[in-house]
Structure 1
Amino acid sequence: MADSHDHLEPPESVPPVSAEPYDPDEPRRYPSTIGGAFYLLVLGAVGVAMVVVALDEWRTGIRLMGGSLIFAAAVRLVLRRRDAGMLAVRHKVLDAVVLIVLGGALIFLAGSIPDQPEF
């Protein structure tokens, strides 16, 4: 029986091949898809929204966060799967519906929660 510390080495006759297309004359772009750029934009907007929430403007911050998710849904609907980057998780419509529901719920809750008395 093999020791648990043993590991298998790949055969020498099989060269390693990356799933990423590789062109030595063209370095990899980051993000490598337009959807990745939009994902970073949405992530940045959510970060700004968290700062706004921390600055005691929670309704505005939560609305900004919800709007960012709805924007992400619109981008997901427009872009093809191969261009959507990290915005693509499942099927296009399912991704968009989940983002719209979450964004809409945040916006709804930010507007419907009554103000609390100050302490």
Structure 2
Amino acid sequence: MKAPRSRGSQFYLLQLLAVVVGLALVGAGQWRLGIGAIGMAFVAGALARVVVPIDHTGMLRVRGKVFDVVWMSLLGTALIVLPILIPNQPG
């Protein structure tokens, strides 16, 4: 299997791996940690979208740069804040 050539595609695959790890944590019962990991993956993806030049974005590019950065930043921040704000439930 060949590795992706563009730097953006490599970042995208790392982001996808982090989301899979986060989902595995959620499935294992560590939902706060898992959701936080997924949120961090989206924030890291937004930062990568800002840094990677346009000709190397590959799979990291979905729409325009501003849309991608704003959307991934908002989603990532919401997923990081969510497990912090939800109180522990008894039982």
TM-score by length of 2: 0.92
Distance 1:92 1:38 in 2: 15
> Structure 2 counterpart of 1:77, which letter?
V
Provide the residue aligned with 1:116 in structure 2: 89
The CA distance in 2 between the partners of 1:94 and 1:58, in whole Å, is: 28
Structure number with greater Rg is: 1
Structure 1: distance between partners of 2:3 and 2:17: 16
Task: Extract unaligned runs of 5+ from structure 1.
Answer: 1-28
Q: AA paired with 1:105? A: A
TM norm structure 1: 0.72
* Higher RCO, 1 vs 2 (CA within 8 Å, ≥6 residues apart): 2
RMSD between aligned residues: 1.1
Determine the structure 2 residue equivalent to 1:34: 7
Q: Which amino acid aligns with 2:54?
A: R
Equivalences for residues 46-85 of structure 1 within 5 A: 46-85=19-58
Aligned position for 1:96: 69
Structure 1: which 4+ aligned runs deviate by more than 4 Å?
A: none
What secondary structure sits across from 1:48 in the alignment? helix
Deviation at 1:116, TM superposition (A): 1.6
Identity over aligned residues, as a percent? Answer: 42
